[in-house]
Amino acid sequence: MKKITSLLIVLTLGLTFCNLSIAQGTTEEQAPRDRIYDRFSPSEREIIPYDHIRESDVFMEKRIWRVIDSREKINLPFKYEGIDWKDMKPLITIFNDAIKEGSVVYDDEYFKIPLTPEAFLKKTGSIDTIALYDIDGNYTHDTIVTNEFDPNSVKKFRVKEDWFFDKETSTLQVRILGIAPIYTDPDAGELALYWVYYPDFRKILVKQDVFNPKNDAIRFSWDDIFEGRLFGSYIIKESNVLDRKIQDYKQGVDALMEAEKIKQEMFEWEHDLWSL
């Protein structure tokens, strides 16, 4: 009996040391973790679907175009390049990566003309042919140089949205329809790189973290930023009979005052409904 007990003790100790060795080997194979806990929330996030809006419930509607300038202090997270937190990327990089993985974007703000992969590559990079010469100055051959797209070249984003008053909930609401990265062409000025159909991209944006300068433990998603209106912007156009932008009839400070006037008129319109 004593021999059987001793044998069981030896087997138990052997299995214990074996399990410890396996556990240590597994731990050694894991990559170092650059934070004090594992973060799972980004991959588990899901978008909150919009409420269905009936045509008969829309009492008033106004289409607005606005610009988000990433150089403004409130908008600095739009160009955060993952200097410390490597899991975060600028918004333009998120868009471009999604397009490379098969997401559809458009060449026009009405979402009628899909941007082909060839056109996307042409807009976000260039290919140059450079002639090479030997030490004596004789031509040898040509080489192809690919110029990668610089995310820092995009400093603004144009947003197309609809403001409407819903009679069923008695609320003034806004729905973003499209977002366009803006780059500056030396000859043509500011141009839209492409148009993203925002409702389709929400499922991508909700899983991407945004840098929070006040608290690293509380992260917003890009869907939170847009749905919560956590950005600074200015209006450049409202729907009008002449299809004019504000800059077509106002300049400088007058243009900013006109943008504020449009915004104020919308909120005053809602306020007046309650006073009837």
| CA atoms of 236 and 244, how far apart (whole Å) | 9
Sign of CA dihedral 187, 190, 196, 202: positive
**Mean model confidence pLDDT for the chain:** 81
Helices assigned H by DSSP within 206-247: 222-227
Place 174 in a pLDDT band, splitting at 50, 70 and 90: very high
Question: pLDDT tens digits for 219-267?
Answer: 889 999 999 999 999 999 999 999 999 999 999 899 989 999 998 888 8
Is pTM, for the whole model, over 0.95?
A: no
The answer, yes or no, to whether residue 25 has pLDDT greater than 50, is no
> What's the mean pLDDT in 11-37?
55
The answer, yes or no, to whether residue 217 has pLDDT greater than 50, is yes
The answer, yes or no, to whether residue 10 has pLDDT greater than 60, is no
Provide the percentage of residues in the chain whose pLDDT is more than 90: 43
> What's the mean pLDDT in 132-154?
68
Q: 139 near 159, Cβ under 8 Å?
A: no
Domain boundaries, the chain: 58-122+151-275
> What's the mean pLDDT in 206-228?
88
Beta strands per DSSP E along the chain: 58-69, 126-133, 139-147, 156-166, 171-185, 189-192, 196-197, 209-210, 220-221, 234-238
